[in-house]
Amino acid sequence: MNRPLKDIVNELERTSETTPQYIEAVISALRSAIPFDASCCTAVDPKTLLSIGAVTDDLIESIHPQLFELEYTDDDVNQYETLIKTSQTAAILSEAVKGDLKRSKRYRMILEPAGFGDELRAILLNKGECWGYLTLLRKIGQPPFNEKERTLVASLAPIIGRHLQRLRHNRPKKDMFHMKHVGGILILSEDLIPLSCNQAALHWLNVLRGWEKIDSAVLPRPVRAVCSRAVAETDSPAKTVISIPGQCFLSIKASRLDGLGPSEQIAVSFEPASSAETIPLIADAYGLSEREKDIAYRIIRGLSTKGIADDLHISAYTVQDHLKSIFLKAEAGNRRELIWKLLDDVLE
């Protein structure tokens, strides 16, 4: 008897050590149930919705920069942020345009010239937060995706999202090597062509390319994502934080440079993430609820049980109940051990 696809997708997380491995395994499992010609699955930062790494078929690789640009800087049907706002877990392009694919700018400008027809998209949510995007494509001449296929992908999306969250927060390990690579700076042209960088930035570019399994000519998706957001939103820098096994938490920021050069340029910085950036990620790793995070943050600040209770306007008994849950989830025996676990990647 064939195992349900949901069970297979759940099992794959236990046999995958990294996000790319899990995504590749999920895509392979999906092919057994849904015919498609190309796919792309992107893990995203739930706070910024920017890419922190993608697994992309070779057929999509050449059009991926165009898809990024349109997604972050223009409007079209079934855009991922729109799906999130409308709580539409999965959507079919041909349904959204009532069978006339040319009503979609993405289809006219990018998909059709590349030989693709219909598209099925899904947002990979867990507890209301988005941890990834999934795109399945069929070539021109193939039948459009149908409601049964959309429903199946929608049912799998929360499972994939939950596992992407867990895998993203597999705690990185610091080594002494990363300390030599603080202050990475990369300068790109306005059309995202690298112009110059220092050795620290080159190190991080190589790390990210290895993480995504792309060659040296391809700009890593997290870098492309923050740059695209910086171009679209000129008032403030764009930022995302990435965790990569064997590396520290990495903060990537992009800002537009205007005024002095012959054309607009973009500066990207690479730095080990600060405690303010990493503590929420580590708290997520342990599956703490929002109230538990509130209490954990106050423990780090040194508040007593009574102080936490007064600060949050709850009883001391309620604080104690939350503390028991926090210690259990974080596998900590006391407050000191909990603080050590939450700050380990910062203080190590």
**What global pTM score does this model have?**
0.77
What distances in angstroms separate CA 248 from CA 59, 160, 326, one per listed residue? Answer: 32, 24, 24
Please state the rounded mean pLDDT for residues 141-167: 93
Taking only the tens place, the pLDDT of each residue in 97-135 is: 999 999 999 999 999 999 999 999 999 998 888 999 999
Taking only the tens place, the pLDDT of each residue in 250-297 is: 899 999 887 665 567 899 999 888 877 888 878 877 888 889 999 998
pLDDT greater than 50 at residue 79 = yes
Is the four-CA dihedral 68, 73, 74, 77 of positive or negative sign? Answer: positive
Please state the rounded mean pLDDT for residues 150-178: 76
pLDDT greater than 70 at residue 224 = yes
Taking only the tens place, the pLDDT of each residue in 168-184 is: 765 544 443 444 557 89
Output the pLDDT for position 262.
57
> Tokens for 4?
């349900």
Output the pLDDT for position 126.
87
The residue with tokens 């995070």 is 293
Model confidence at 348, pLDDT cuts 50, 70, 90, reads very low
Output the pLDDT for position 47.
83
> Tokens for 230?
């910086």
Output the pLDDT for position 307.
92
Output the pLDDT for position 346.
45
Q: Which of 81-85, 88-92, 171-175 has the lowest mean pLDDT?
A: 171-175
Beta bridge pairs of residue 129: 126
Amino acid at 93: L
Contact 61, 218 (CB under 8 A): yes
